[in-house]
Amino acid sequence: MTDRNIAHDNGRTWWKHGVVYQIYPRSFYDSNNDGIGDIRGITGKLDYLAWLGVDAIWLSPIYSSPMHDFGYDISDYRTVDPIFGTLADFDELLKYAHRKSIRVIMDLVINHTSHMHPWFLESRLSKGNPKRDWYIWRDGNDGKEPNNWMSVFGGSSWTFDPVTSQYYLHSFLEEQPDLNWRNPELRKAVFSDIRFWLDRGVDGFRIDVVNWFMKDRFFRDNPSLFGIKKLQRHIFDRNRDETQGVIRELRGLINTYENRMLVGEVFSLPPGDPSLSARFLGDGSDSLHLAFDFSLIYRFWNARMYYKCVRRWMKKIPDGGWPCHVLSNHDQRRSASRYGHDDDGPKREKIAAALLLTMKGTPFIYYGEEIGMRNGQIPRDRIVDPLGKRYRPFYAGRDLQRTPMQWDDTLNAGFSESEPWLPVNSDYRKTNVDIEKNDRHSILRFYRALLELRRKKKSLYSGEWKPVIKGRRGVIAYYRTAGDETVFVALNFTAKTSHIHIRDHAQWKVCVSTHRSSREHFTDLDITLNPHEATIIERIGEL
Binding site residues, ligand TEU, CB under 6 A: 69, 72, 109, 152, 172, 208-209, 265, 267, 330-331, 398
Question: Nearest residue by C-beta to Ca ion?
Answer: 38
Classify strands 103-108 and 63-64 as parallel, antiparallel or unpaired.
unpaired
Please report how close the Cβ of residue 348 comes to ligand TEU at its closest, in angstroms: 22
* Residue 399 interacting with Ca ion (CB under 5 A): no
Task: Give how many residues touch Ca ion by CB under 5 A.
Answer: 5
Q: Which stretch binds Ca ion (CB under 5 A): 22-30, 192-200, 329-337, 478-486?
A: 22-30
Distance CA 52, CA 47 (A): 9
* Residue 537 interacting with Ca ion (CB under 5 A): no
Please report how close the Cβ of residue 172 comes to ligand TEU at its closest, in angstroms: 5
Please report how close the Cβ of residue 52 comes to ligand TEU at its closest, in angstroms: 23
34 binds, among ligand TEU, Ca ion, none (CB under 5 to 8 A by kind): Ca ion
Catalytic residue, candidates 89, 208, 349, 369:
208
Please report how close the Cβ of residue 543 comes to Ca ion at its closest, in angstroms: 60
32 binds, among ligand TEU, Ca ion, none (CB under 5 to 8 A by kind): Ca ion
Instruction: Out of 36, 39, 49, 263, name the contact with Ca ion by CB under 5 A.
Output: 36
CB 236 within 8 A of CB 149: yes
Bridge partners for 528 per DSSP: 499
Please report how close the Cβ of residue 227 comes to ligand TEU at its closest, in angstroms: 22
Distance CA 204, CA 184 (A): 23
Please report how close the Cβ of residue 214 comes to ligand TEU at its closest, in angstroms: 16
Specify the long-range contacts of residues 406-410, CB closer than 8 Å, at least 24 apart. 406/368, 406/371, 406/373, 406/431, 406/432, 406/433, 407/29, 407/432, 407/433, 407/434, 408/432, 408/433, 408/434, 408/435, 409/434, 409/435
Active site residue 265: yes
* Residue 378 interacting with Ca ion (CB under 5 A): no
Residues 37-56, interacting with Ca ion (CB under 5 A): 38
* Residue 413 interacting with Ca ion (CB under 5 A): no
Please report how close the Cβ of residue 109 comes to ligand TEU at its closest, in angstroms: 5
**Sign of the C-alpha dihedral computed for residues 184, 186, 190 and 193 taken in this order:** positive
Ramachandran sector of residue 519 (left: φ over 0; alpha: ψ -120 to 50; beta: rest): alpha
536 binds, among Ca ion, ligand TEU, none (CB under 5 to 8 A by kind): none
CB 493 within 8 A of CB 303: yes
* Residue 419 interacting with Ca ion (CB under 5 A): no
By C-alpha distance, which of 38, 8, 150, 52 is closest to 445?
Answer: 52
Element of type H or E holding 282:
none
Q: What would the DSSP string read from start to end of 162-192?
A: TTTTEEEE-SS-TTSPBB-TT-HHHHHHHHH
172 binds, among ligand TEU, Ca ion, none (CB under 5 to 8 A by kind): ligand TEU
Catalytic residue, candidates 55, 174, 265, 538:
265
* Residue 417 interacting with Ca ion (CB under 5 A): no
Instruction: Out of 5, 32, 165, 410, name the contact with Ca ion by CB under 5 A.
Output: 32
Distance CA 43, CA 289 (A): 27
CB 474 within 8 A of CB 455: no
Instruction: Pick the closer one to ligand TEU by CB: 209 or 460.
Output: 209
**Sign of the C-alpha dihedral computed for residues 508, 510, 514 and 517 taken in this order:** positive
CB 221 within 8 A of CB 236: yes
72 binds, among Ca ion, ligand TEU, none (CB under 5 to 8 A by kind): ligand TEU
Residue 165: CB atoms within 10 A of its CB come to 10
Q: So which residues are the catalytic ones?
A: 208, 265
Residues that bind Ca ion (CB under 5 A): 30, 32, 34, 36, 38
